[in-house]
A and B are shown apart, each in its own frame.
Chain A
Amino acid sequence: MPLATYQTSVPVVVDDAKCIADKGCTVCVDVCPLDVLRISDMTGKAYMAYDECWYCMPCEADCPTGAVTVNIPYLLR
């Protein structure tokens, strides 16, 4: 039996309160070169579906509401 059934920490974190994906915004999903972001069918907000981030940052830089934060590992900063 797994100790955790969902991932608790991913590099790209989306603040649901700020995200306007439920209004039709797809900026972060569109700019991601690895296509790792998705819009949740449940919440209508963006989230990181696959943990394969390159830390290229456009999702954070282009987000119109500043909802996306990319946590860059210490050794890559």
Chain B
Amino acid sequence: MSSPFESYDDLDDADERLQAADPAERRVAIIALGHSGDPAAVAHLAGMVSDPDAGVRQQVAMALGEFDGPESAIALVQLLVDPERIVASAAADSLAELKDAACADAILPLVRHSHAFVRMGALRSLKELRRKDTLKPALEALQDSDAAVRVQAIGVIGFLKLEESIPALTASINDSDAHVRRAAVSALAFSQMKSAAESITRALKDDDWMVREMAAETLGLNANGSVAADQLIEALADGFWQVRLKSIRSLGKMKLDRAVRPIGGCITHEQANLRKEAAAALGEIADPSGEPYLALVAGDTDPEVRKNARWALQQIAARKARAGA
């Protein structure tokens, strides 16, 4: 089978061009290797991780992002600890692209590195590898002094979706940093445990609106989210429309008839996004008591609101027809 890269002859004279005196020429050779798509290019790129020019090392980190596998991970790990931030950042971005679970062996030791950026980059890259042996170091990293590291640790735990990690995630909902609390709320979405839904519900009262917004959204995704129906209805009066919007969406997903009136109260809000969601949620619930509210936006200035209102009225008509049949 032909390859779109077969016309490239980058590897034939790669070593010669990688040794050029001009860093710009070495950089161009590295770009070509990255574009070649040939797995044999990884060895050539790995040989360049100690180049004296930071721009070249940055290019190596970016080029290695085109290749998956442990060989690429080993080279990227060396670049992640580079003293130049541009190199380390490029390595962190490329490490996050890895999908081969075997890469975790090279990355795991960096979870305890002395620099917070390295720990964060390592945890971020472990997330999508979903290896069970990453749970323990990720749980330990929840005690890290750097909030960005704790956020990435929650990412690793969330991707693993293991019920045994629920107590740790629940504890993180009380973290001092809002980004950590927000990540913890999001990671609890998968849990089937009632205690998880209860913890997310408490986050609806968080001081930070972004945590409350995430809690409102996550309750719509959680299997036991309906335990928070009353609190979500209360959240429709939140000071931030973003929280109200996610609460409306989650209540719509729960198809609660008693939510029609509070959702209907939001349908004339000045934010078109909110009116659109309110109309859609009334359609999801499809209770005939939603019709008067939908009539209010039948001539709305925003076409998306009118479209959702029409769809919602169709849903209500269909429900009536089913009930009459």
Contact = CB atoms under 8 A, between A and B. Distances in A.
B13 interface: no
A64 B59 contact: yes
B55 A23 contact: no
Interface residues of A, number: 7
B28 interface: yes
Given A64-B59, A65-B55, A23 B27 contact: yes
Which residue, of B22, B31, B59, has the highest number of chain A Cβ atoms within 10 A?
B31
Nearest to B30: A64
B85 to A, nearest CB: 14
Contacts of B25: 23-24
B28 A24 contact: yes
B24 interface: yes
B31 A23 contact: no
Nearest to B20: A23
Interface residues of B, number: 9
A24 B26 CA distance: 10
Given A64-B59, A65-B55, A27 B24 contact: no
B65 to A, nearest CB: 12
B22 A23 contact: yes
Contacts of A24: 25, 28
B31 A25 contact: yes
A20 interface: yes
A64 B55 CA distance: 8
Contacts of B22: 23
A20 B30 CA distance: 13
Nearest to A65: B55
A25 B55 contact: no
Contacts of B55: 64-65
Nearest to A27: B31
Contacts of B62: 64
Which residue, of B22, B24, B27, B62, has the highest number of chain A Cβ atoms within 10 A?
B24
A20 B27 CA distance: 9
A65 B30 CA distance: 13
Contacts of B59: 64
Contacts of A65: 24, 27, 55
A20 B31 CA distance: 12
Which residue, of A24, A25, A27, A64, has the highest number of chain B Cβ atoms within 10 A?
A64
Interface of A: 20, 23-25, 27, 64-65
23 contacts: A20-B24, A20-B27, A20-B28, A23-B22, A23-B24, A23-B25, A23-B27, A23-B28, A24-B25, A24-B28, A25-B24, A25-B27, A25-B28, A25-B31, A27-B31, A64-B27, A64-B31, A64-B55, A64-B59, A64-B62, A65-B24, A65-B27, A65-B55
Given A23-B22, A64-B62, 4 more contacts: A20-B24, A20-B27, A25-B31, A64-B27
Q: Which 7 A-B pairs have the closest CB atoms?
A: A20-B24, A23-B24, A24-B28, A23-B25, A25-B28, A23-B28, A64-B59
